[in-house]
Structure 1
């Protein structure tokens, strides 16, 4: 049987969820993005159970708060941003309550040891603030392309969605990465920037 929701873009699905509490539209959003969200969570945590819990919590919250939640960006951009915030919160709770070492909770072995591991993770929040501020300073089209690329879409999918050539998409992404890397590496250092540019 044909699923009519598969032909709708993500933003239209979100509007159906928000305005009509459409469970089928919500299920389609979940089917469309849950695997990519899980992949991101697992890459950052290295724990399948934690990754599943974080993604499940994200979608439960999305459904429960659908009527009051205001999303000013593309729904896929919101989902990946919200998941990254949950991952940071997960690590912070581990650090504060379990006194585990930084390399235990951050499996990507590119982190320098610090005398204050809690401060290292608090700095991640500061990096995000710098990142968002610099992102807003980019040209509108470049910013749109870059945000879609961070949401898990391929360059081809972005090109089709925006009606642009794939080479143009690659140019915008490369330009944004170059500008943001320079700004972040200068302002907060290499270690913190690794989170945003894995």
Structure 2
């Protein structure tokens, strides 16, 4: 089907145009988002949201590139919005968690043995990952400060922190039992 005709039919609210788009691109888009996220269900949710958004905005939508590029870009942006939302939630939880650990350390809490085990778990992180994690969580430095201090990009700091937090989340419950 000609792309311009497809866009016009979509703008007019023709269900067959939408069905064609969905059947033609859904699997590709899901695979694309899955490669970004590593989560099949999340990928499907994001693609479905993008497709619903396309349908809802069909009358006012202006597509300056190809329809395929527009759909991939929309899914990419939806994924980035999801990441930003999740990062805010994780940052809040991490702040509460690490503030509690810091307080427990200062008060010589009866849970010292758990803190000792947590420190051993942190010691298992790769050296660079551990260094960045400690600077952020224990020294309370921001990503930008760490990047400048170590001469690396902020993105590298973000990636290393993601690895550290993933490792700790995966292992802390088993380790502290």
CA distance in 2, matches of 1:53, 1:60: 10
SS at match of 1:89: helix
Partner of 1:78: 70
Residues 1:40 and 2:32 are matched in the alignment: yes
CA distance in 1, matches of 2:6, 2:154: 39
Partner of 1:12: 5
**CA deviation map 1:108-139 (0-9, x unaligned):** xxxx767456x7xxxxxxxxxxxxxxxxxxxx
Unaligned runs of 5+ in 2: 95-128, 137-141, 145-152, 157-177
- The within-5 A match list for 1:61-140 is 61-99=53-91, 115=136, 116=142
Q: TM-score, normalised by structure 2?
A: 0.52
Specify whether residues 78 and 95 from structure 1 end up closer, same or farther in structure 2 by C-alpha distance, changes over 3 A only.
same
Q: TM-score, normalised by structure 1?
A: 0.47
Q: Output the aligned Cα RMSD.
A: 2.8
CA distance in 2, matches of 1:60, 1:71: 16
CA distance in 2, matches of 1:10, 1:34: 16
Aligned length: 106
Between structure 1 and structure 2, the one with the greater Rg is: 2
Cα distance, 1:48 vs structure 2 = 1.2
Unaligned runs of 5+ in 1: 1-7, 102-111, 120-187, 192-198
SS at match of 1:72: coil
SS at match of 2:9: helix
